[in-house]
Amino acid sequence: MSQMCCKATRIPGSWPRYKPCKNKAVIEVDGKNYCGVHDPVRLAKKSAERDAAYREQSARRTEVWRLNSAAPSLLSAGIALIAALDSGDDARAAYAAMKSAIAKAKGEA
Ligand SMILES: [Zn+2]
């Protein structure tokens, strides 16, 4: 492929000016020639990978936030359950509170 890339590149400076890309075309997509830098297939794949990485990172942050916000209620429910079990009293209410706190920490409630 001896033709040039069809994309334009911005000329550095404060005023927006463009010049044709100086690279030789290496791929043809929908009848237009593109260089390796402006290859739309490669750029779409790169964008999809970046989006997937962002979604994964966002999901991880959300899980950390959920666990951090559930930690105080988990701790207090655990302390209450141990106190109820140690005293020999009826621990069913503390047990239910502990189950509820665990479900909340797991994101089920
Ligand atoms: Zn180009």
The overall average pLDDT reported for the chain is 94
Q: How far is the CA of 52 from the centre of ligand 1 (A)?
A: 26
Does residue 104 register a pLDDT over 70? yes
Q: How far is the CA of 69 from the centre of ligand 1 (A)?
A: 49
- CA trace torsion 87, 93, 95, 96 (10° rounding): -170
Query: What is the reported pLDDT for 68?
Result: 95
What's the predicted TM-score (pTM) here? 0.65
Residue 42's CB is within 10 A of a number of other CB atoms, namely 14
Q: How far is the CA of 24 from the centre of ligand 1 (A)?
A: 7
Residue 76 near residue 96, CB atoms below 8 Å:
no
Which is nearest to 21 in space by CA: 31, 11, 29? Answer: 11
Q: How far is the CA of 105 from the centre of ligand 1 (A)?
A: 50
Triad 45, 48, 50: Cα angle to 5°: 110
CA-to-CA dists, residue 3 to 7, 34, 41, 48, 77, angstroms: 12, 9, 18, 28, 71
Q: How far is the CA of 1 from the centre of ligand 1 (A)?
A: 13
Which residues pair with residue 28 across a beta bridge?
33
Q: In whole angstroms, what is the distance from residue 27 CA to residue 31 CA? A: 10
Does residue 109 register a pLDDT over 90? no
Does residue 90 register a pLDDT over 80? yes
26 backbone φψ class: left, alpha, beta (φ>0; ψ -120 to 50): alpha
Q: How far is the CA of 55 from the centre of ligand 1 (A)?
A: 29
Q: How far is the CA of 8 from the centre of ligand 1 (A)?
A: 7
